[in-house]
């Protein structure tokens, strides 16, 4: 669908907790608007915006997708996002790229964790928001109670602009509180309602809540307030203008009602999107910075130089990489070269597409505010800006949190080792919340994500798309070994096998380092006790031995070696012999230097609310955590603690369980500390058992 004016575009992101019906609503909007000729259902595995094989198998969205619904000569671009908390970054990406958020609320479950998080994020970036109460056909629904809960959580700015006709299985339509027009729908129909009289059973509620709505709109505008005092009411035209302005300024958050599964309220919902939500140019500006990093909002102006934000990357097996983008200013044309301001490289944009899920239809251009796609960009990634070289700019993007959990992965087939890196790299193009790399100390390949399920879904994608089976393990904790006192060591390597033998002898002193250094080697030999050419071999032997560990196979660090004395043989001495002697001297010294294990300790910050403080502090205590203080951030509490990494491997899932998913945490390395004796003994015993096995 080609649109010529930003005024004919509406960009919305469907967000909310899992099982609120976001994908079903997207499917209903496409069907009612005529974009598709049948209702594609999540349950049937053919929803337009759930096209990934893993999504179809799980019957749950795992990534954002775009589609568009033509309605009353307008193009409504819809970004459908996952409701699982582990994919929160996908929802944030969609909200950042669009002009309004539609927050779905399950009429049965009410306000849930992801609902709250998306509300808070939209409020933080001042995103105009509409709340859609869905699934009103279910048992145990109460629209009034839901409104009260929403106003309690989100404030008085929450105001219904529709009222449901009927309840639970009898839910059959909605009343427009602005126009006082009622519409009935046929369950399972095409979602287009028929006008009717306001039913007597809801007339009183309609009058009451309409009066509250009119008062709320009037009090935001002096002229409307005067007219309201004079006439006791306001005409629908004035209310519509006032409501539209109030939504744009986030002075009012309107609430609509419906059942997307049965197509009840779908056409009236489309009308609301067209009539009340902002156009791309209504926003005026879009967050941006200059190339130098100074804030410089971009004007959402059709006459300005072209600038587009890439907010999602897909990997299609046939088309390759597909970049979903939103044009912020100017016009983006097909077959034109643009400038990627991050990498400072020219980027050829081939055929632009209007995207319905995974299907793209070529269009010659995308005007200001439009959402579309382009295939096979060479340099561009999610979050990048395409602009003109003459007017470079970087459009605002979201903060990407560091992953909360890591797992070690190894291929079931040795032949797949080289394939894993390339395959995971493609998945990381799509999912910017993933991290992948090799631990420099343990040598393990680590896959990191926002939760265990996030990593497991990534593993499922590896198998589904790339035919790579992997085994998942908790990562090894990178313990270290060190010494607590100085000691002398002697190493002698002597071997005679007939002919030339092997001989080397060295004496060393090892001592702890207190400045944080890892390893130092000091040559203190004067004279020819060991020839100059053999001394580096002693250091190399010690270096190799310390990396193999002494107590439990972990690298030894934090010590200095002084090479004091030794002996050599004119014929039998060699570099190899002195390497062996050096390693023997190291082991001899370690036995007398009070070796001990060190463990990584993390700076942990937990963001939670007052109600969970006791449970979290108790759990941290059980993990050998040491509280470092608390801060207040709005209505949240920030707990700071030092906790050993070994105690944090399962923390993401535990925190989610004890706080019902309402808390989050970050952690970073603070340093190394000595492992308690009883835990050391267990680690050493396990290492010995593994070596024996």
For residue 500, the domain's CATH number is 3.30.230.10
Same domain, 275 and 172: yes
CATH number at residue 642: 3.30.70.240
Q: How far apart are CA 258 and CA 269, in angstroms?
A: 8
Nearest by Cα to 442 from 479, 494, 388: 479
Q: Residue 538's pLDDT band (boundaries 50, 70, 90)?
A: very high
Is 636 a member of any domain? yes
Same domain, 253 and 383: no
Q: Residue 400's pLDDT band (boundaries 50, 70, 90)?
A: confident
Q: What is the pLDDT of residue 248?
A: 97
* Rounded (to 5) percent helix, strand, coil in the chain: 35, 30, 35
Same domain, 537 and 457: no
Q: What is the pLDDT of residue 612?
A: 95
CATH number at residue 132: 3.40.50.300
Separation in Å, CA 490 to CA 405, 509, 564, 588? 44, 9, 10, 6
Q: Residue 663's pLDDT band (boundaries 50, 70, 90)?
A: confident
The torsion angles phi and psi of 636, rounded to 5 degrees, stand at -105, 155
Which of 473, 505, 524 delimits the end of a domain? 473
CATH number at residue 362: 2.40.30.10
Residue whose tokens read 């107590």: 551
Nearest by Cα to 546 from 585, 600, 592: 585
pTM above threshold 0.75: yes
Is 540 a member of any domain? yes
Q: What is the pLDDT of residue 693?
A: 77
Same domain, 421 and 385: no
Same domain, 220 and 356: no
Summarised one tens digit per residue, pLDDT across range 558-588 is 999 999 999 999 999 999 999 999 999 999 9
Residues 6+ apart with CB under 8 A from 368: 6, 280, 281, 300, 301, 302, 304, 327, 328, 329, 330, 331
Q: Residue 206's pLDDT band (boundaries 50, 70, 90)?
A: very high
H/E segment holding residue 120: helix 113-124
Same domain, 254 and 305: no
Is 1 a member of any domain? no
Is 400 a member of any domain? no
Nearest by Cα to 512 from 589, 601, 599: 589
| DSSP structure string for 560-589 | EEEEEEEE--TTT--HHHHHHHHHHHHHHH
Residue 390 CB: number of other CB atoms within 10 A? 7
Is 448 a member of any domain? yes
Q: What is the number of domains present in the chain? A: 5
Same domain, 390 and 445: no
Residue 151 CB: number of other CB atoms within 10 A? 16
Same domain, 96 and 196: yes
Mean pLDDT of 454-458: 92
Residue 223 CB: number of other CB atoms within 10 A? 10
Is 691 a member of any domain? no
Summarised one tens digit per residue, pLDDT across range 288-333 is 998 877 889 999 999 999 999 999 999 987 778 999 999 999 999 9
Same domain, 140 and 229: yes
Share of the chain above pLDDT 90, in %: 79
Same domain, 296 and 262: no
Same domain, 67 and 167: yes
Q: Over the chain, what is the mean pLDDT? A: 93
Residue whose tokens read 């993990």: 623
Residues 6+ apart with CB under 8 A from 34: 70
Domain that holds residue 275: 6-279
> How do 664-674 and 595-608 pair as beta strands?
antiparallel
Separation in Å, CA 589 to CA 542, 597, 688? 11, 16, 20
Contact between 357 and 49 (Cβ < 8 Å): yes
Sign of CA dihedral 136, 140, 143, 148: negative
Contact between 112 and 660 (Cβ < 8 Å): no
Q: What is the pLDDT of residue 517?
A: 87
Q: Residue 680's pLDDT band (boundaries 50, 70, 90)?
A: very high
Among 246-250, 461-465, 660-664, name the one with the lowest average pLDDT: 660-664
Q: Residue 690's pLDDT band (boundaries 50, 70, 90)?
A: confident
| pLDDT at residue 536 greater than cutoff 90 | yes
Is 100 a member of any domain? yes
Report H helices in 467-514. Answer: none
Is 690 a member of any domain? no
Q: What is the pLDDT of residue 515?
A: 85
Among 103-112, 203-212, 409-418, 464-473, name the one with the lowest average pLDDT: 409-418
Q: What is the pLDDT of residue 398?
A: 95
Which of 234, 259, 279 delimits the end of a domain? 279
Same domain, 356 and 495: no
Which of 279, 313, 334 delimits the end of a domain? 279
Q: How far apart are CA 541 and CA 550, in angstroms?
A: 14
Helix, strand, or coil (residue 370): coil
Q: How far apart are CA 424 and CA 417, in angstroms?
A: 11
Mean pLDDT of 531-551: 95
């Amino acid at each position: 669908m080609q649109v010529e004016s930003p005024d004919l575009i509406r960009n919305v992101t469907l967000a909310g907790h899992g099982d609120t019906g976001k994908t079903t609503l997207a499917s209903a909007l496409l069907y009612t608007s005529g974009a598709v000729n049948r209702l594609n259902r999540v349950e049937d595995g053919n929803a337009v915006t759930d096209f990934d094989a893993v999504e179809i198998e799980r019957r749950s969205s795992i990534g954002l997708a775009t589609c568009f619904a033509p309605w009353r000569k307008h193009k409504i671009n819809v970004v459908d996002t996952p409701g699982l908390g582990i994919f929160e970054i996908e929802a944030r990406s969609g909200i950042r790229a669009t002009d309004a958020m539609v927050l779905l609320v399950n009429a049965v479950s009410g306000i849930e964790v992801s609902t709250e998080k998306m509300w808070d994020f939209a409020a933080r970036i001042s995103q105009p928001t509409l709340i859609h109460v869905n699934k009103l056909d279910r048992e145990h629904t109460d629209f009034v109670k839901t409104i009260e809960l929403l106003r309690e959580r989100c404030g008085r700015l929450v105001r219904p602009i529709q009222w449901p006709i009927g309840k639970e299985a009898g839910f059959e339509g909605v009343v427009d509180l602005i126009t006082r027009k009622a519409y009935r729908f046929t369950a399972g129909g095409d979602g287009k309602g028929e006008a009717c009289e306001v039913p007597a059973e809801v007339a009183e509620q309609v009058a009451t809540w309409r009066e509250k709505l009119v008062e709320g709109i009037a009090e935001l505008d002096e002229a409307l307030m005067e007219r309201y005092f004079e006439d006791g009411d306001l005409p629908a035209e004035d209310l519509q203008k006032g409501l539209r302005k109030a939504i744009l300024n986030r002075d009012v958050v309107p609430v609509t009602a419906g059942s997307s599964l049965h197509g009840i309220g779908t056409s009236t919902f489309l009308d609301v999107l067209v009539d009340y939500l902002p156009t791309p140019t209504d926003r005026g500006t879009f967050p941006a910075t200059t190339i130098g990093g100074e804030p410089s909002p971009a004007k959402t102006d059709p006459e300005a130089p072209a600038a587009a934000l890439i907010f999602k990357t897909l990997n299609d097996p046939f088309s390759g990489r597909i970049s979903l983008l939103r044009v912020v200013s100017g016009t983006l044309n097909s077959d034109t070269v643009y400038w990627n301001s991050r990498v400072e490289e020219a980027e050829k944009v081939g055929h632009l597409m209007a995207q319905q899920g995974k299907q793209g239809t070529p269009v010659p251009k995308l005007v200001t505010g439009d959402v579309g796609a382009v295939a096979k960009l060479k340099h561009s990634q999610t979050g990048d800006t395409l602009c003109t070289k003459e007017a470079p700019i970087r459009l605002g993007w979201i903060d990407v949190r560091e992953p909360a959990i890591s797992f070690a992965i190894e291929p079931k087939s040795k032949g797949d080792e080289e394939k894993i890196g390339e395959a995971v790299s493609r998945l990381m193009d799509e999912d910017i919340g993933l991290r992948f790399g090799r631990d420099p100390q343990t040598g393990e390949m680590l896959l990191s994500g926002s939760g265990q399920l996030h990593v497991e879904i990534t593993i499922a994608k590896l198998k589904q798309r790339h035919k790579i089976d992997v085994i998942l393990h908790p990562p090894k904790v990178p313990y270290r070994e060190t010494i607590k006192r100085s000691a002398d060591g002697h190493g002698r390597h002597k071997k005679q096998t007939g002919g030339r033998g092997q001989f080397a002898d060295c004496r060393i002193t090892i001592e702890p380092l207190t400045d944080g250094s890892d390893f130092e080697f000091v040559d203190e030999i004067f004279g020819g006790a060991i020839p100059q050419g053999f001394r580096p071999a002693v250091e190399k032997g010690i270096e190799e031995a310390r990396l193999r560990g002494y107590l439990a196979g972990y690298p030894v660090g934090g010590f200095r070696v002084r090479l004091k004395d030794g002996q050599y043989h004119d014929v039998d001495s060699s570099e190899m012999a002195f390497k062996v002697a050096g390693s023997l001297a190291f082991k001899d010294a370690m036995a007398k230097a009070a070796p001990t294990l060190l463990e990584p300790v993390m700076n942990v910050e937990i963001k939670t609310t007052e109600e969970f403080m006791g449970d979290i502090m108790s759990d941290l205590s059980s993990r050998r955590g040491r509280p470092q203080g608390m801060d207040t951030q709005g209505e949240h509490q920030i707990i700071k603690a030092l906790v050993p990494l070994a105690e944090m491997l399962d923390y993401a899932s535990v925190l989610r369980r004890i706080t019902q998913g309402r808390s989050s945490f970050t952690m970073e390395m603070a340093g190394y500390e000595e492992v308690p004796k009883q835990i050391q003994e267990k680690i050493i015993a396990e290492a010995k058992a593994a070596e024996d096995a």
